[in-house]
Every structure is written in structure tokens, then in C-alpha cells.
Amino acid sequence: MKTPLPISEEVAGPIRILHLEDSLIDHELIIRALQAAKLEFSVERVETLPEFARLASSGDFDLILADYRLPGFTAIEAWDALAAVNPRPAFVLVSGAIGEAAAVAAIQSGMSDYVLKDDLGKLAHVVQRSIEVHHARVSRENAIRELAASEKRLAGFAEHLQATIEQERTAIAREIHDDIGGSLAAIKFDLSWMARHHADPETLAHLSTAQDMLQHALGASQRIMMNLRPAILDQGLVAAIQWLASSFERRTAIKTLVRTPTSPIHLDKELELAAFRTSQEALTNIGKHACCKQVTIDLTDDHQVLTLEISDDGQGLSAGALDNPKAFGIKGMRERAHAVGGWLDVSTNSQRGTSIILSVPLSKTGETLA
């Protein structure tokens, strides 16, 4: 049978009450007040602070009723004695010797409520409300913890997924290089041999066309390999960004300006890859949607923070675009930033275009901070 709480039904059986009270008469009055309200409960009285702390910490009680002043201590000290208990039970002051200031201070410290001893007619209602609020607070705290744990698991999964994707890209690029690239190179040699050993104009025309198509296939395979696993990253992030910008400008005819430090930037491979992929994704989005005339890429490592900004002078993002659940490109960039201990900011304006800024704190050695 469940306790007949008017709103919450979190407590099964009678409400379990621990009563911190040195007066047996007052204890009996409180019992009668609760019985008069037809509240189902069980109650245990305790007088000393050590015994109270032991019983209240056991988790066997749904509610604590406490007098404010007891021999040698106050209810504030009793409440503080439960600081290590998580969650602390609902705690209601029932006292005839508490002023308004003390009552307010008690509530601000986390206690549920208070009732004056000469107004015990309100006690049952306060008990019910305090338990209800307590369960709501505990449920909310549990939900927040579960959400935080879920977000942590999701972030870990996203990081693992990104790492898996990069591994797959590297494997595919290697296969393209070893198998397809090797086969195309062999065909190129055969076509060259055939061109040297045939004098028929029609045959030579076909061979020339085939060589042109083959050269296009070789160029496409090299471009795909560079996008899958940019070998130029072995020369550092600055060189990779410059190559990416040059390729973007050549492909889209959009003027692309790159500004980088004059001194070398030393970063770990994970951060270099994250910055490169952020630039790659940003330029892909610009090429598809920005309708711009110029793109600027700024890379700095001032004040022990790596900052990569990719901005355009285009039409900006539409209202609500950043909150679009299908905006996987921006979400992916943010996950990459989070995975290397940084963050991603996006600002957009129809008059000034869009700016994407990756910021990652660095240690003194140039590596990302944990």
C-alpha cells in the first residue's frame, strides 16, 4: 500500500520519520497532529547529535522533523552533520523558539521548511509538500547526472567514430595508391609502348585519347587520396592549410587568402588532423552555400592557444541553420574540437558572411592540453 500523498507517490508504505526532539511531550503532540490529518507514518525519536547522525545517515528515513534548539547543539549543526549524505533526506524544522531570520537561514542552507509548534495544524501539509519537493529535486539531480553521463558516452562514441573514420580513410587511400594507382601506372606504360610501335593515324588518335583519359584518372585518384589521407600533413599544418587553400581556389575560382605565423608551429598529429579537417569541412561548406568572392584563413598560436579562423564574405547562414538537427557538418567540426580539448565558434551575418573559429589551448611544448 502506498502512502496517500496528494501529488507524489514516490514513498511506498508509511512515511518514515526521524524526530530530533528532546521533549517527549512535544513529540507526542506532533504524533497526534499527524494522526489527526490521517497521515500514515512511522516515527522514531532521537535526542543526541551522534545518535541522530548515525540514524539519519542510514537512509532508513524519508523525512526528518527537528526542534531548533536542543541540549548542546542546534538543528543547523544536525543538518551540517549530514553534509556527506547524498541525497540528504527532507528536513523540516518544528520549533517554538526560532525567529524569522533563523528560519530563512535554515531554508537557505537547504532545509525543506519549518513549522511553529503552536501551529501544528499545518504540519501534515508541510510534511507532504516537503517530501514531494525532495523527490522532485532528487529526480532532477539524477536526471542531470544521467544526462551528463549520456553526453560523456556520446562524446566518447563520437571521438571513437572519428578515429575509426580516419583509419578507414587511411586504409582506402593506401589501397587506391597500391592497387588502383599501380594498375593505372602500368596501363600508362603499355599505352606509351603501343604509341611507339604503331604508325596508323587512327590507332594513334585512339591511343592519345586513352592516354588523356588515363591521365585524368590518375589525377582523380591522387586527388581522392589527398582528401582521404593528406600526406602533405607530414610537412606540417601550415603547408597542409596552404595546399588546401590553393586547391580550393583552383577548383572554385574563389580568391583564398592564407595568413600563418612566420615561425614554425609544432603540434601533435591529432590536433593537426583536427585543424586540417575543420578547414576542409569549412571550405566545402563555403563552396556549396556561401556565394562569396573571397575566403580568408588565419592560423595563429598566440598566447598558448591555437586559433584557426576561416571566414568568407558571402551571404551568411540562414536563421536557425546552426540549430538545424541535420547540420552534421558544423556538429562534426564541434565534436572534432571537443575531442582535442578545444571549442568551435560560428558567427554569421548576411552583410559580413560567416566566420568559423577553432580554438585549442596548448601546453608550453605546443601539444594540446589534456
Predicted confidence at residue 63, as pLDDT, reads 93
Q: Are 85 and 56 in contact (CB under 8 A)?
A: yes
- Supply 176's cell numbers: 587506391
What are φ and ψ of residue 365, in 5° steps?
Answer: -90, 0
CATH number for the domain harbouring residue 276 = 3.30.565.10
Of the residues 142, 162, 183, the one at which a domain ends: 142
Of the residues 142, 173, 199, the one at which a domain ends: 142
319-357: b or e for each residue (b if 16 or more CB lie within 10 Å)?
A: eeeeeeeebeebebbbbbbebbebebebebeeeebbbbb
State the average pLDDT over residues 199-228.
84
Determine which of 211-220, 287-296, 339-348, 361-370 has the lowest per-residue pLDDT on average: 361-370
Q: Is residue 201 part of a domain?
A: no
Verify that 238 and 369 share a domain, yes or no.
yes
pLDDT in tens, 100-117: 777 778 888 888 888 888
Q: Is residue 152 part of a domain?
A: no
Q: Are 236 and 191 in contact (CB under 8 A)?
A: no
Domains in the chain, number: 2
Task: Report in angstroms the alpha-carbon separations of 263 from 260, 301, 302, 304.
Answer: 9, 10, 11, 14
- Categorize the per-residue pLDDT at 3 as very low, low, confident or very high, splitting at 50, 70 and 90: very low
CA atoms within 13 A on the CB side of 11: 32
Q: Is residue 339 part of a domain?
A: yes
Of the residues 142, 172, 203, the one at which a domain ends: 142
Q: Is residue 8 part of a domain?
A: no
Mean pLDDT (the chain, rounded): 84
Q: Is residue 163 part of a domain?
A: no
Q: Is residue 101 part of a domain?
A: yes
Whether 196 shows a pLDDT value over 50: the answer reads yes
State the average pLDDT over residues 134-163.
83
Verify that 353 and 242 share a domain, yes or no.
yes
Predicted confidence at residue 364, as pLDDT, reads 54
- Supply 355's cell numbers: 566566420
pLDDT in tens, 221-249: 877 877 777 777 888 899 999 999 999 99
Verify that 256 and 364 share a domain, yes or no.
yes
CATH number for the domain harbouring residue 65 = 3.40.50.2300
- Categorize the per-residue pLDDT at 2 as very low, low, confident or very high, splitting at 50, 70 and 90: very low
Verify that 122 and 253 share a domain, yes or no.
no
Predicted confidence at residue 320, as pLDDT, reads 67
State the average pLDDT over residues 127-137.
89
CA–CA separation, 19 vs 14, rounded Å?
15
Verify that 137 and 236 share a domain, yes or no.
no
Predicted confidence at residue 316, as pLDDT, reads 85
- Supply 232's cell numbers: 602533405
- Categorize the per-residue pLDDT at 19 as very low, low, confident or very high, splitting at 50, 70 and 90: very high
Range of the domain at 351: 232-370
Whether 45 shows a pLDDT value over 60: the answer reads yes
CA–CA separation, 179 vs 176, rounded Å?
6
Residue 45's contacts (CB-CB under 8 Å, 6 or more residues apart) are: 19, 20, 21, 24, 27
Q: Is residue 244 part of a domain?
A: yes
CA–CA separation, 226 vs 222, rounded Å?
6
Verify that 124 and 242 share a domain, yes or no.
no
- Categorize the per-residue pLDDT at 283 as very low, low, confident or very high, splitting at 50, 70 and 90: very high
Q: Are 302 and 313 in contact (CB under 8 A)?
A: no
Verify that 237 and 368 share a domain, yes or no.
yes
Verify that 25 and 123 share a domain, yes or no.
yes
pTM for the model stands at 0.54
Strands (E), the chain: 15-20, 41-46, 63-66, 69-70, 73-74, 90-95, 113-116, 255-259, 294-300, 305-312, 343-349, 353-361
Q: Is residue 42 part of a domain?
A: yes
